[in-house]
A = this chain, B = another copy of it.
Amino acid sequence: MSSHVFDQAIALELQPDGTFAGHTSADYANMVGPFGGISAAQMMNAVLLHPQRLGEPVSLTINFAAALAHGTFIIDARPARTNRSTQHWVIDVRQNGETVLTGTAFTALRRDTWSVDEEPMPQCPPPNQVPIGRGPAPVEWVKQYDMRPLAGAMPTVWDGSGDNSLTQLWVRDNPPRPLDFASLTALSDVFFPRVFVRRATLVPVGTVTMTVYFHADSAQLQASGSSHLLAQARAQAFRNGYFDHTAQLWNEAGVLLATTHQVVYYKN
């Protein structure tokens, strides 16, 4: 097994009944429970490791039903329907017999077709010209990422002065690690809550659902190596306890690797 902290965190053990056993990682701890991105990566990894998998990930939805307790969990990833070149997955993560995460995924054998990126990578200086920023909070998981904010960094003054929620940053695993579907899944949740930057106000928050669309195949991920990704997110609406965000991740060459969306609970 790779000694990279990320590989240790997403390691799973196939059980005799076809489920996978995993363990929360202290290295990816968040305020309450683990970093959502590492839970999503563990879920994705159960599909990737599954002996019946057909093709590569195209989409993943994960719902955060309850905070995971520190310790072991069971991932039950089941192919609900397998077609000639596509497969639909239903995923359930349990602790002590109770569901803590639910999810669905779609994998497919992809073929070369006419292709074009419509959402261009924003113009910005290269990562080596952007200083590493302070993490969004004094929690463990942010130490596992090299984050270089370009716009909409974590506020330093909490005076309610925010007027938009756009964040752009360069980001990669720390230490560097070659990009793959599992790490891209985790990176899709790297954004601190949009409500912090929009309001410059700290309020209790928690992601309730996240969806990732993978535009890249494994060859394109491999070609991205371990270099930084440009990650961009902004909210579309904050309304009565829940806001959404819509986000994109490009590699340094400007290829759109993934688009991702989530809904986050907020108080007040």
- A-side interface residues toward B, CB under 8 Å? 58-59, 61, 63, 65-66, 80-81, 83, 86, 88, 90, 92, 98-100, 102-104, 106, 108, 110-119, 164-165, 198-199, 208-209, 211, 213, 215-217, 234-242, 244, 246, 248, 256, 259, 261, 263, 265-268
Q: Which residues of B contact A65 (CB under 8 A)?
A: 80-81, 83, 88
Q: Which residues of B contact A104 (CB under 8 A)?
A: 61, 63, 102-104, 209
A108/B242 in contact, CB under 8 A: yes
A112/B211 in contact, CB under 8 A: no
Q: Which residues of B contact A209 (CB under 8 A)?
A: 58-59, 61, 104, 106, 211
A217/B240 in contact, CB under 8 A: yes
B208/A118 in contact, CB under 8 A: no
B118/A241 in contact, CB under 8 A: no
Cα A83 to Cα B256 with chains together (Å)? 37
**How many copies make up the complex?**
2
Cα A131 to Cα B76 with chains together (Å)? 51
Q: Which residues of B contact A100 (CB under 8 A)?
A: 81
CB distance from A233 to the nearest CB of B (A): 12
Cα A173 to Cα B92 with chains together (Å)? 36
CB distance from A229 to the nearest CB of B (A): 15
**The one of B66, B102, B208 that contacts A90, using a Cβ cutoff of 8 Å:** B102
Q: Which residues of B contact A80 (CB under 8 A)?
A: 65, 92, 99, 102
B118/A102 in contact, CB under 8 A: no
A118/B58 in contact, CB under 8 A: no
Most buried by B among A103, A115, A267: A115
Q: Which residues of B contact A111 (CB under 8 A)?
A: 240-241
Q: Which residue of B lies closest to A244 (CB)?
A: B213
Q: Which residues of B contact A265 (CB under 8 A)?
A: 86, 108
Cα A221 to Cα B198 with chains together (Å)? 25
Closest 4 pairs (CB-CB, A-B): A65-B81, A119-B236, A65-B88, A215-B237
Cα A137 to Cα B76 with chains together (Å)? 41
Given the interface pairs A198-B116, A242-B58, the reply to whether A236 lies near B259 with Cβ below 8 Å is: yes
